[in-house]
Structure 1
Amino acid sequence: MFRRCADLSPNPEVGAAPRELSLAIVGLDHPNADGSNRRFEVALCEPGHPVCLVPEPKNPVDPHAVAVLSMNQIQLGYIPFERSGWISTLLSAGERYEAFFQDHGRCAAIIRVRFGGGPPTMPAPRYTPPQPIDPADLVDWGA
């Protein structure tokens, strides 16, 4: 079904100045053809886990679609339409890249990609300050 990431080795001759960015992964709620659950696989991902970008030129919805696979070779979703044309062009040209899982989100997962060689720099994790306890929530429910 999917080619292994090793089979998609980028062309080392093609490249430019390193560029890196964070990208959302969309389509988490769609089932995979093999029956695997994308959200479950995303839940297993930790920041820093490698991911693979796989162009899908025969995708009937978008010929520039780029699938994102976990290190377990399970599809997590797709690069959003707004970025997929640019990303698929880079990948088709053999641009070197490294990509890692960055963060979990409510509607999308985030990956970090660096084009041009070398690992991407991972941003600091989001800090969520602890929420103060509202005394009104401390009522006896009679249980």
Structure 2
Amino acid sequence: MSYEEDQLTKTLQRMVKWQYEIDRSRYDLNEWGQKYYDSKHAQSAYHNQHGLNAYLADNIKQTEELQWEVGNARRMVNKKLEEVHDKFRELDEMVASDPQHIVGTHEDLWTKTAKGRATKSIEVLTQYRVLKRS
């Protein structure tokens, strides 16, 4: 199976999953609507309003849970980003601790001649910098 076919298969699987979620949501909404309609005829206006308020409160609770999950994910991403920045700081310190092999300023490390003269630590640093940039 080629790469394009694999990507197409994954996309189609994702679309099937989304369609299932849409159908499930539509079913849940219809089911709730039927329950609300039945209760509207069976109960007083007060109980209907109470049922609507309970439904809205449940949705608000679900929204708060999703916001909490998104906040957790954002915190995890920021933590990983901080770890990456720490690694870059360590590499900068490693290069700075080897001054006899460094010619010129930090910007000179990006010129071809400076890269040619680079020690292993500078090569690693430039490799990481290129990865960071892309």
Same-fold call, TM cutoff 0.5: no
Structure whose CA Rg is larger: 2
Counting helix residues as a fraction of each chain, which structure ranks higher? Answer: 2
Counting strand residues as a fraction of each chain, which structure ranks higher? Answer: 1
Q: TM-score, normalised by structure 1?
A: 0.22
Q: TM-score, normalised by structure 2?
A: 0.23
